[in-house]
Structure 1
């Protein structure tokens, strides 16, 4: 099993990927962990470093759950997955999940630091359906629609297999 979970921030990617990893004994990769400079807020690693980290993970693990919102990385990993899961619960659900998000110590030094970034995160999340970048609904929709293998889209609590 090689499952790739993607969608907007707050869509439930981490929750689902961690659950699948635990239930099925899969290696787990949160793409945030290879995209951002450790110990720094919103400082991206060089693209070649990120690509090398993803390639290393893919070659080192035969069974995995990968999750993230990065269209270019989701696209790259999709060539190796056995199942694609697009979480698309809608904007209000994502915003609410972000408000209730527990502290993520692998991303922020403290809960207070994380909460201090919430307004910026919510603003970015709110633009998901309008933006045209690699982290947008537009990019995610193209990835999902063009994937020929087993795939499921989760809409507002329901799943639609394609």
Structure 2
């Protein structure tokens, strides 16, 4: 299994990644781990890409998940399936509001909660953003991929994966 999960924050990528790995053991990489160099500063794209390539080389079976079309695009040739999670902005916001503390991203629940308003605004702009995190770029990346792919528009559909 070599799967890439693409979608907005709150789309359910991490949850689906855990479900896939429970069915078939595989390594998991959240692109948040390679996109930033501490805090909110993005790493150079080439650095992120090289780190993902090394990680892929070290793992036979894997799931990569993220919203970073600029990192995903060059690693698409390595995947067997692209799954685009696109449940709508309202669902993504609801998921963000109910997500548990993510210790790999925040030092405390309080720190995570202090970022929640920014996250909700960012997630809410998904359909209008023109950057690598937005719907337009995700849809173009999905359309360009010639391998096995699926777009899931409802979290209830995730169980079929």
Structure 2: stretches of 5+ with no match in the other structure: none
Please identify which structure carries the higher helix content: 2
Equivalent residue, structure 2, for 1:81: 79
For structure 1, which segment, 41-50 or 102-111, has the greater mean C-alpha deviation from structure 2 after superposition? 41-50
Is 2:102 the counterpart of 1:104? yes
- Residues 136-158 of structure 1, C-alpha deviation per residue, up to 9 Å, x if partnerless? 10010011111111111111236
The two structures have a TM-score, normalised by structure 1, of 0.92
Offset of 1:12 from its aligned partner? 0.2
For structure 1, which segment, 71-80 or 98-107, has the greater mean C-alpha deviation from structure 2 after superposition? 71-80
Offset of 1:108 from its aligned partner? 0.4
1-structure distance, mates of 2:46, 2:80 = 25
How does 1:10-89 map onto structure 2 within 5 Å?
10-37=10-37, 40-89=38-87
Q: CA RMSD in A?
A: 1.7
1-structure distance, mates of 2:130, 2:155 = 25
Is 2:119 the counterpart of 1:121? yes
- Residues 11-56 of structure 1, C-alpha deviation per residue, up to 9 Å, x if partnerless? 000111122123211111000011122xx43122232321221110
Offset of 1:79 from its aligned partner? 1.2
**Runs of 4 or more above 3 Å deviation:** 157-160
The two structures have a TM-score, normalised by structure 2, of 0.93
Structure 1: stretches of 5+ with no match in the other structure: none
